[in-house]
Amino acid sequence: MKQFISTSPCPVRVKNPLSKAADIAYLRIGRKNLKIATEYYLDFGLSLLEETEHRVLFHGFNSPYPCFSIEKHHEDVLLGVGLYITSFEEFEKLKELKGAKFLQNGRFGNSSNFPIANLTDPSGLSVDAVLVSNFLENLPNTNKNQRTWNTPNQTKRINKPCPYDKGAAKIMRLGHAVFLKQEFFKNAQWYCDTFGMIPSDIQILPDSKEPVIVFLRCDLGDKLTDHHTIVIATGADDRLEHCAFELEDLDEVAKGREWLQENGWKPAWGIGRHLLGSQIFDYHRDPKGMLVEHYADGDKFDHTVPVGYHFVNRKSLYQWGQDMPESFLDSKLTLDKIFSLVKGMFNGRDIKLENLITLKKTMKISPRNWVRY
């Protein structure tokens, strides 16, 4: 879809953003029970970096630095997100923003003592701009069990079987985070203005053509980057919808699924391949019901690829895969969500109730003609 008419603005890339994020750095999650959360995320495939009474840090095989922090908290809640930036000049600009806080020794002390400019996005989420040098993109791949694939036209694995490696998936890195926001455009454009993010794809409602979801990638110029690093979607409340971790290949995704199920953890949906971003995916739910994703083989874009527009529906979530369970999308209007909506409207937020209602109806429609809800 190349053109459409909407009464609401769409997020756009800006010519002179305050900074240009290089990648997502980490997520910070609050949990009442650190022990159970730690057990789960080890089975999920994260590597333990540091464990204390109040916080557990994890990293991936691609980096010795934390990509996921579980922190002792009185609520099970999202605490914040970190984004890497590599320009000292841009970092200084972010430090000078109203309300910004400067953390000289970083968020995690010796485990990652890069300086931080702590900001707050329009929804109130804590966002750390983490200043690093370019060496982060050249860190070695420490996964020693890489597989080779034979195809009809090329044989790479000769005189040896495909290696069998039972256990937790080997997570390489945190790939992206999807956030629900009551004020869709305000938050999405903030990430474009503040961190130079580029809309890769925008999903719109079928009749009103109102934009409700945007996939944002980093602007690395001619260098390739993930199709999306941050996703902003219209929501009844402000929260993390899911976070996704990159694996080596399809075998690793399947291996991770086997291990989690063998250890009694609850799967959510998969295995399949996404349409926007093209990742092979497998979704699970952590002990508190939060969606977490294993993925492999995602699209890589440079700064030249124009934005795409697509109708939003369940069909748009995958090219092929396991039938999507009706429960996969958390669309129930709970008391907590009603309270969040009322609170948001009372505080003067620009909440588009009609878009929320239409999106809820649209996402109730079955994605395949053989799937019945």
The tens digit of pLDDT for each residue in 61-95 reads 999 999 999 999 999 999 999 999 999 999 999 99
The reply to whether 153 falls in a domain is no
Evaluate whether 76 touches 68 at the Cβ level (below 8 Å): no
311-327: average pLDDT: 95
The reply to whether 1 falls in a domain is no
The reply to whether 240 falls in a domain is yes
- CA–centroid distance for 186 within its chain: 19
The reply to whether 143 falls in a domain is no
Please tell me what DSSP assigns to residue 186.
H
The reply to whether 373 falls in a domain is no
The reply to whether 286 falls in a domain is yes
Got the DSSP string for 59-91?
E-TT-SS-SEEEEE-SS-EEEEEEEEE--HHHH
Q: What is the token pair recorded at 335?
A: 């008391």
42-63: average pLDDT: 96
Got the DSSP string for 212-234?
EEEEEE---TTS-EES-SEEEEE
The reply to whether 4 falls in a domain is no
Instruction: Inform me whether the pLDDT recorded for 115 exceeds 80.
Output: yes
User: Strand, coil or helix: what is 204?
Assistant: strand
Phi, psi dihedral angles at 91 (to 5 degrees): -60, -40
CATH assignment of the domain containing 73: 3.10.180.10
C-alpha triplet 251, 255, 257: angle, nearest 5°: 120
Tell me what pLDDT residue 8 has: 84
Residues 290, 261, 320, 293: what is their CA dihedral angle, to the nearest 10 degrees?
30
Instruction: Inform me whether the pLDDT recorded for 42 exceeds 90.
Output: yes
Q: How far apart are the first and last CA of the chain?
A: 29
In this structure, the number of other CB atoms found within 10 A of the CB of residue 168 comes to: 18
Q: What is the token pair recorded at 362?
A: 């649209």
Helical packing angle, 34-44 and 250-262, nearest 10°: 140
The domain total for the chain is 1
Percent of residues, the chain, with pLDDT higher than 90: 85
Q: How far apart are CA 105 and CA 101, in angstroms?
A: 12
In this structure, the number of other CB atoms found within 10 A of the CB of residue 159 comes to: 4
Q: What is the token pair recorded at 361?
A: 């109806």
Q: What are the angstrom distances between the C-alpha of 74 and each of 52, 71, 337?
A: 17, 10, 19
Lowest mean pLDDT among 27-31, 301-305, 330-334, 361-365: 330-334
Residues in Cβ contact with 312 at an 8 Å cutoff, skipping those fewer than 6 apart: 203, 204, 205, 206, 212, 213, 359, 362, 363
User: Strand, coil or helix: what is 361?
Assistant: helix
Q: How far apart are CA 108 and CA 100, in angstroms?
A: 18
Q: How far apart are CA 158 and CA 156, in angstroms?
A: 6
The tens digit of pLDDT for each residue in 149-188 reads 899 999 999 998 988 889 999 999 999 999 999 999 999 9
- Going by C-alpha positions, the residue among 219, 24, 29 that lies closest to residue 132 is 24
102 is in which domain, residue-wise? 21-136+169-363
Tell me what pLDDT residue 168 has: 98
Q: What is the token pair recorded at 68?
A: 């996921």
The tens digit of pLDDT for each residue in 10-21 reads 999 999 999 999
The reply to whether 144 falls in a domain is no
